[in-house]
């Protein structure tokens, strides 16, 4: 069968500031997903949160961008918003930027990642294993470096030297500055690796949209790459991207995919979406608290049965104690960066400052400048 995995997430309210959704919100979303499984709309579903963002993972046979699936999640997020409003939670409905999108919710605020594939559980995919990543308090290009390294650099993924992967991967990269629509370029690794890097170095403008196996044509990765401030025209919250990544066999193995996250690399985000801070790998359902509001990323894995059901339990990759060391380093890097406060590289450049208010402050002052009399 043709199976589709859809992952849709949004921030629709959180407890005591931008930390995590409430238990009642989570229960509400889980109940809706259980109904959707019961009614046959989806085969399976899983609700989680990373920081203050609720993510709904679904398996179904309706294909990518299907109106019924997207509308179901939109309505679920509206119901969770009602719960958030009732209890006076922070930022109720924050990421639902339009009143009622018709059909597909891409461009309406929620982050969307989807992969459709032929699901036969025979060669070249005798088992289907997938990873689901969700990041909070960071920009849409947060996955650029780690995903590039996993799919284009044998120093991180030695598996690229194997016959199944040696032809490399095709990167679809999106120019998020183009508001006319999805503006995409296709570039092939390894021969275009430097060109890919030339684009992906700019996390605020370019992001990986998807990656395909050049040997098998199959889609390996889908990333939600959109800028909320481009959609809304003003700061409404951070983009907080999600990703679906298929692994093993014809694709990199989990350890090859997650090892670049040991860098805790600096990304745009953090407080008011306007700082440059390290991305900390965290277990699923971790709230964002602590000093600053460090960008965080979760990564879980599922296997998928022949019927398209998720395995009875998931694996939480960043819950392993091996990541404690990375978390400590991320915190140390964050403290170091924040010790220079607002100065220079510690905050995003003027054009990328997510909080429009910062720009208003500077704009007001610009009007007061006068040429010095000679």
For binding to Mg ion (CB under 5 A), which residues are involved? 11, 18, 52-53, 136, 237, 240
By CB under 6 A, residue 237 contacts ligand 13P: yes
Decide whether 11 or 204 has the Cβ nearer to Mg ion.
11
By CB under 6 A, residue 18 contacts ligand 13P: yes
By CB under 6 A, residue 227 contacts ligand 13P: no
Judging by beta carbons within 10 Å of its beta carbon (0-12, 13-18, 19+), is residue 53 exposed, middle or buried?
buried
Binds ligand 13P (CB under 6 A): choice among 293, 294, 296, 304: 293
66 binds, among ligand 13P, Mg ion, none (CB under 5 to 8 A by kind): none
- CA-to-CA distance for 39 and 334, rounded, in angstroms? 47
Q: From the candidates 9, 11, 20, 95, give the one annotated as an active-site residue.
A: 11
Q: From the candidates 9, 20, 137, 238, give the one annotated as an active-site residue.
A: 238
- CA-to-CA distance for 51 and 137, rounded, in angstroms? 8
Residue carrying structure tokens 């890919």 = 196
Please indicate whether residue 177 is annotated as part of the active site: no
By CB under 6 A, residue 271 contacts ligand 13P: yes
The string of DSSP codes covering 318-365 is: GGSTHHHHHHHHHHHHHHHHHTTTTSGGGB--GGG-S-HHHHHHHHHH
By CB under 6 A, residue 273 contacts ligand 13P: yes
Which stretches within 22-104 are classed as H helix? 23-39, 67-86
By CB under 6 A, residue 11 contacts ligand 13P: yes
CB neighbourhood size of 337 (10 A): 19
According to DSSP, the residues that pair with 310 across neighbouring strands are 304
- CA-to-CA distance for 179 and 193, rounded, in angstroms? 26
Cβ-Cβ contacts under 8 Å for 249 (sequence gap 6 or more):
124, 125, 126, 127, 164
273 binds, among Mg ion, ligand 13P, none (CB under 5 to 8 A by kind): ligand 13P
Please indicate whether residue 52 is annotated as part of the active site: no
Q: From the candidates 235, 240, 270, 333, give the one annotated as an active-site residue.
A: 235
Minimum CB distance to ligand 13P, residue 54 (Å):
11
User: Which one, of 203, 222, 299, 223, lies nearest residue 256 by Cα?
Assistant: 299
Cβ-Cβ contacts under 8 Å for 344 (sequence gap 6 or more):
none
The string of DSSP codes covering 291-318 is: STT--EEEEEEEEE-TTSPBPSS-EEGG
By CB under 6 A, residue 97 contacts ligand 13P: no
Minimum CB distance to ligand 13P, residue 81 (Å):
14
Minimum CB distance to ligand 13P, residue 109 (Å):
11
The 43-62 site mask, x for binding ligand 13P (CB under 6 A), equals: --------xx----------
By CB under 6 A, residue 246 contacts ligand 13P: no
Please indicate whether residue 95 is annotated as part of the active site: no
Task: Return the range that interacts with ligand 13P (CB under 6 A); candidates 181-189, 265-273, 277-285, 332-340.
Answer: 265-273
By CB under 6 A, residue 216 contacts ligand 13P: no
Minimum CB distance to Mg ion, residue 180 (Å):
27
293 binds, among Mg ion, ligand 13P, none (CB under 5 to 8 A by kind): ligand 13P
Cβ-Cβ contacts under 8 Å for 85 (sequence gap 6 or more):
13, 92, 93
By CB under 6 A, residue 272 contacts ligand 13P: yes
Residue nearest to ligand 13P (CB): 237
Minimum CB distance to ligand 13P, residue 110 (Å):
12
- CA-to-CA distance for 53 and 63, rounded, in angstroms? 24
According to DSSP, the residues that pair with 256 across neighbouring strands are none
Residue carrying structure tokens 């088992």 = 127
Decide whether 57 or 293 has the Cβ nearer to ligand 13P.
293
User: Which one, of 61, 245, 256, lies nearest residue 154 by Cα?
Assistant: 256
Chain residues in the site for ligand 13P (CB under 6 A): 11, 18, 51-52, 91, 136-137, 237-238, 240, 271-273, 293
- Hey, which residues are catalytic here? 11, 235, 238
């Amino acid at each position: 069968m043709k199976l589709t995995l859809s992952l849709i997430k949004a921030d629709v309210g959180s407890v005591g500031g931008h930390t995590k959704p409430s238990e009642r919100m989570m229960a509400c979303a889980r109940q809706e997903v259980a109904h959707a499984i019961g009614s046959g709309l989806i085969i399976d579903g899983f609700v989680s949160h990373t920081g203050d963002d609720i993510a709904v993972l679904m398996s179904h046979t309706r294909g990518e961008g299907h109106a019924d699936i997207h509308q179901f999640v939109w309505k679920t997020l509206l119901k969770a918003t009602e719960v958030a409003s009732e209890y006076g939670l922070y930022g109720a409905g924050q990421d639902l930027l339009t009143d009622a999108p018709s059909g597909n919710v891409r461009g309406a605020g929620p982050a969307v990642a989807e992969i459709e594939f032929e699901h036969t559980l025979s060669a070249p995919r005798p088992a289907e294993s997938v990873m689901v990543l969700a990041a909070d308090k960071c920009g849409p290009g947060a996955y650029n470096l780690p995903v590039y390294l996993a799919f284009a650099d044998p120093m991180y993924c030695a598996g690229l030297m194997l016959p199944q992967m040696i032809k490399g991967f095709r990167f679809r990269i999106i120019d998020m500055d183009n508001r006319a629509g999805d503006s995409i370029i296709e570039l092939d690794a390894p021969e275009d690796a430097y060109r890919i890097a030339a684009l992906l170095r700019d996390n605020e403008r370019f992001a990986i949209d998807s990656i395909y196996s050049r040997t098998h044509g199959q889609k390996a990765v889908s990333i939600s790459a959109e800028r909320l401030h481009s959609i809304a025209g003003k700061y409404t919250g951070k983009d907080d991207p999600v990703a679906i990544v298929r692994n093993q066999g014809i694709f990199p193995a989990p350890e090859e995919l997650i090892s670049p996250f040991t860098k805790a690399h600096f990304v745009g985000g953090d407080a008011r979406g306007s700082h440059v801070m390290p991305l900390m790998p965290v277990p699923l359902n971790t709230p964002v608290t602590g000093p600053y509001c460090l960008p965080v990323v979760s990564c879980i894995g599922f296997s998928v049965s022949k019927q398209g059901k998720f395995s009875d339990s998931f694996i939480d990759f960043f819950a392993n104690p091996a990541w404690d060391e990375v978390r400590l380093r991320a915190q140390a890097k964050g403290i170091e960066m924040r010790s220079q406060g607002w100065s220079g590289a510690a905050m995003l450049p003027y054009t990328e400052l997510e909080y429009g208010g910062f720009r208003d402050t500077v704009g007001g002052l610009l009007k007061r400048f006068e040429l010095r009399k000679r």
